[in-house]
Amino acid sequence: MSGENEQDGAPAEPSAGEQLALIRETVRRTKAPKARPRTWRGAPLAENLPVARVLVDKGPVHLDQLWDYAVPAELDTRARPGVRVRVRFGAGTGQVHSGRREGGGLLDGYIVERVATSDYTGPLAAIAQVLSPEPVLTPALLGLCRAVADRYAGSLADVLQLAVPPRNAGAEAEASPPPLPPPPRPRPGSWTRYPAGPAFLGALARGDAARAVWTALPGPHWPGELATAIAATLASGRGALAVLPDGRSAARVDAALTELLGEGRHTLLLAEAGPRERYRRWLAVSRGSVRAVVGTRAAMFAPVRDLGLVAIWDDGDTSHSDPNAPRPHARDVLLLRAVQERAAFLAGDLSRTVEAAQLVENGWALPLEAPRDQVRAAAPRIRTVSDTDQARDPAARAARLPSIAWQTLRDGLRQGPVLVQVPRRGYVPRLACERCREPARCAHCAGPLEATDADTLTCSWCGRTEENWTCAECGGTRLRAQVVGARRTAEELGRAFPGVPVRTSGRDHVLDTVPAEPALVVATPGAEPVAAGGYAAGVLLDGWVLLGRPDLRAGEEALRRWLDAAALVRGHDEGGTVVVVAEPTLRPVQALMRWDPAGHAARELGERAQLGFPPVSRMAAVTGPAEAVDGLLETLELPAGTEILGPVTVPADEPGTRQRRAGDPAPAARGGGRQPARRTREAAPGDTWARVLLRVRPGSGAALAAALKTAQAARLVKREGAAVQVRIDPPDIG
């Protein structure tokens, strides 16, 4: 391959301006020491490994590759693999012959590796600047980001943007403290309530890559148990990482770890910390001075050294899904890490997602569950009542409280605080059978039906219309569009119980805790405060609203929110009672009564397998202007057996604003001022786009992602048509 220039008759004595073109050859002939190659500025090159392979941080997908740059001698020691650099990139840079030309902009990037020679035949440009000598992009982190980019058909640069926090010079200048020695192996504590618990801790402490799906008992012990699992991993000499859905829960685990290990062995990584503090803590992890991390979503990439355990708490919470491209989910990122870094895996939850159930079903992870009698003792007594039953008391009736709910609250208030869960205003449940409330689904692809006009139903997946809908469950033919004003109910509760203090916790002010005194605590799902000593009773109002959500996961989600709230109520053995106002025959309601999230998830998984729903099948959503979506589909080489559902018309996404549904938790505060990487064309509000869903069999997910990435890249290179959004595992396809 060195022959090309020789055959072309390259001049034997290159002019000064042309020397750069010959770096490759000169480097190879290291025995000719007199003519040390020089950059065009006259600076000598590094003696060892004078070529740096650089990953450019921003830019379009087709720049998703490494570029070779020359390393000037004066940057040699600082230009280590993993450091942030600035390089000149773009047309014009190569114009060494035409004099002073310095075209092309300066781009930020990372040195991925240093090598002796380059395969690139043109002249190498020199690295313009080493921004910082801190090697932030370690090989492990790079490998993880690559895997995430592949999995989500996204670019490495986009993933790096999520994984590496912005630099802060002040934080970098500070020294990180020296690492503490591994702590002693912790006692199992309340883990003994789970038959397999002590063995799991033992495996962690031994250094095994144990994998478990943990259904935590209701009550206040889980943060301590999670902390114990982390401590056991540290005892093995390895690091640990736990990702929680919000700052509140992360802080609880952090506090439990501090109690267990003292300060210095772990750190809390939260988005809401300032940029300097965030980077300071991240650096402490990257430098190996802290071996355990507890944090929210962004912490999923934390560069923990010698990772021994990845844990996720409550993987069904929507905040585990990163809103920035390529929208990775913390559970999947941690799964990738467990495999790549040979770490143990723990998915803990009061409930269970179908994804977690699949890990158990596959045999990839073992279930970590308590025996029935433990569950029964720890969980409150659950009663259900359908919403047609109305209380006799006029005040209770005004608050639309069924009599059992009213009695339960009244009795509970004698013993302490009571919790009332009220669905958030703005939930817009989808069409459901009037008789049995089963969501209306398409006869062809089982997608959700929407009312296009007074008497036409349209499938929002495949676009087919349904003329004569009948309920697959009960044969009913009438639908109801469910609308609710739940807020009013909460206000009226105060009037139903005069003289009792009413506290509210919701989107605007979320209460962390409430004292043990009798009070009505009205909270929206996910915002329930923890009561000192537990709530005496709980009422879960308007269950049908949660169940009727326009979402594939409506049942799973309703159960999750009920279990989360009910777990704050005192256990059966302490007289705790919860009333759920929902149709008693429905599956999630039954699962709540039996406190059986695992059984519910297993059945749900079986059903999804039958209907071809994720996560059993893998799906990708392709959204954009109709011609652009068509264009992408034409170039796409799909894996065999891919089903194409649609296209359907959907409202265009406004740039910079993620479409969020009422009922989702508030978006986590974005620290660091980083903007979502969005190269999507502007869409005016009211525009419509086309959306196609691609569905593949289990096992073809990677092939689908690869095909989409290839097609996207090809279109970008050729600049064909408008940008198209590709989303793997869309969580909100209704």
Residues that bind DNA (CB under 7 A): 59-60, 62-63, 67-70, 87-95, 103-105, 118, 120, 122-125, 716-717, 719
CB-wise, 69 or 544, nearer to DNA? 69
CB-wise, 56 or 212, nearer to DNA? 56
**Measured CA distances, 607 to 475, 603, 612 (Å):** 19, 6, 8
CB-wise, 83 or 205, nearer to DNA? 83
Would you say 632 and 712 are in contact if contact means Cβ atoms under 8 Å apart? yes
CB-wise, 90 or 584, nearer to DNA? 90
Burial class from Cβ neighbours inside 10 Å (0-12, 13-18, 19+) for residue 29 reads exposed
Per-residue burial over 208-221, b if 16 or more Cβ lie within 10 Å, else e, is ebbbbbbbbbbbeb
What is the nearest approach in angstroms of DNA to the Cβ of residue 716?
Answer: 5
**Measured distance CA(581)–CA(696) in Å, rounded:** 38
**Measured distance CA(419)–CA(531) in Å, rounded:** 9
The H helix count followed by the E strand count for the chain is 21, 29
What is the nearest approach in angstroms of DNA to the Cβ of residue 160?
Answer: 18
CB-wise, 137 or 293, nearer to DNA? 137
CB-wise, 69 or 689, nearer to DNA? 69
What is the nearest approach in angstroms of DNA to the Cβ of residue 22?
Answer: 14
381-385: strand order across its sheet: 381-385, 577-581, 537-540, 418-421, 520-523, 502-505
What is the nearest approach in angstroms of DNA to the Cβ of residue 721?
Answer: 11
What is the nearest approach in angstroms of DNA to the Cβ of residue 325?
Answer: 15
What is the nearest approach in angstroms of DNA to the Cβ of residue 95?
Answer: 7
What is the nearest approach in angstroms of DNA to the Cβ of residue 18?
Answer: 15
Per-residue burial over 622-632, b if 16 or more Cβ lie within 10 Å, else e, is bbbbeebbbbb
Would you say 55 and 157 are in contact if contact means Cβ atoms under 8 Å apart? yes
**Cβ atoms within 10 Å, residue 479:** 19
DSSP state of 57: S
CB-wise, 91 or 454, nearer to DNA? 91
SS (H, E, C) 681-709: CCCCCCCEEEEEEEEECCCCHHHHHHHHH
Q: Give, rounded to a whole angstrom, the gap between the first and last alpha carbons of the chain.
A: 55
The answer for residues whose C-beta is within 8 angstroms of residue 267's C-beta and 6 or more apart is 281, 284, 285, 290, 292, 293, 294
CB-wise, 207 or 721, nearer to DNA? 721
Can you tell me whether residue 654 is helix, strand or coil? coil
Burial class from Cβ neighbours inside 10 Å (0-12, 13-18, 19+) for residue 32 reads exposed
Per-residue burial over 91-124, b if 16 or more Cβ lie within 10 Å, else e, is eebbebeeeeeeebeebbbbbbbbeeebeeeebb
What is the nearest approach in angstroms of DNA to the Cβ of residue 126?
Answer: 7
CB-wise, 69 or 497, nearer to DNA? 69
What is the nearest approach in angstroms of DNA to the Cβ of residue 719?
Answer: 6
Beta bridge partners of 479: 433
CB-wise, 169 or 717, nearer to DNA? 717
What is the nearest approach in angstroms of DNA to the Cβ of residue 67?
Answer: 4
CB-wise, 117 or 138, nearer to DNA? 117
Burial class from Cβ neighbours inside 10 Å (0-12, 13-18, 19+) for residue 465 reads exposed
Cα 480 from chain centre: 34
Closest CA to 49 of 111, 142, 121, 140: 111
Please give the helix or strand (H or E) that residue 87 lies within, else none. strand 84-89
CB-wise, 70 or 601, nearer to DNA? 70
What is the nearest approach in angstroms of DNA to the Cβ of residue 205?
Answer: 47
Which amino acid type is present at position 631? G
CB-wise, 91 or 173, nearer to DNA? 91
The answer for residues whose C-beta is within 8 angstroms of residue 524's C-beta and 6 or more apart is 421, 422, 423, 424, 505, 506, 507
CB-wise, 23 or 545, nearer to DNA? 23
**Measured distance CA(693)–CA(400) in Å, rounded:** 41
CB-wise, 125 or 269, nearer to DNA? 125
What is the nearest approach in angstroms of DNA to the Cβ of residue 75?
Answer: 13
Give the tokens for residue 628: 């652009």
Give the tokens for residue 722: 């408008």
What is the nearest approach in angstroms of DNA to the Cβ of residue 215?
Answer: 47
**Measured CA distances, 19 to 2, 6, 40, 95 (Å):** 16, 15, 8, 13
Give the tokens for residue 136: 């932030």
What is the nearest approach in angstroms of DNA to the Cβ of residue 127?
Answer: 8
What is the nearest approach in angstroms of DNA to the Cβ of residue 668?
Answer: 29
Closest CA to 538 of 556, 555, 514: 514
What is the nearest approach in angstroms of DNA to the Cβ of residue 565?
Answer: 48
Residue 232 sits at the vertex; the CA angle it makes with 231 and 235, to the nearest 5 degrees, is 90
CB-wise, 101 or 478, nearer to DNA? 101
